[in-house]
Amino acid sequence: MKEKYLIRDLHPLIFFYGLAFGLLMASVPLPLGIRVFWKWGTVGHIPSISALACSSP
């Protein structure tokens, strides 16, 4: 089953699920990281909840 759908045919559903997961994992931390550096620059310290949200995998 794995060989049929992943290796030989690369089933489109598997491809799009992987693409969506990759885009989600790449796009969520970016605004949080920008906010952390913005708060750090304007206020002078990073709120603990922002640091926790930005550092979680």
Could you count the other beta carbons within 10 Å of the beta carbon of residue 11?
12
Could you count the other beta carbons within 10 Å of the beta carbon of residue 56?
8
Give residue 14's pLDDT: 77
Q: Which residue has the higher pLDDT, 45 or 53?
A: 45
Mean of the per-residue pLDDT values of the chain: 77
Q: What percent of the chain has pLDDT over 70?
A: 72
Average pLDDT over residues 15-37: 83
Give residue 28's pLDDT: 75
Residues 6+ apart with CB under 8 A from 51: 36
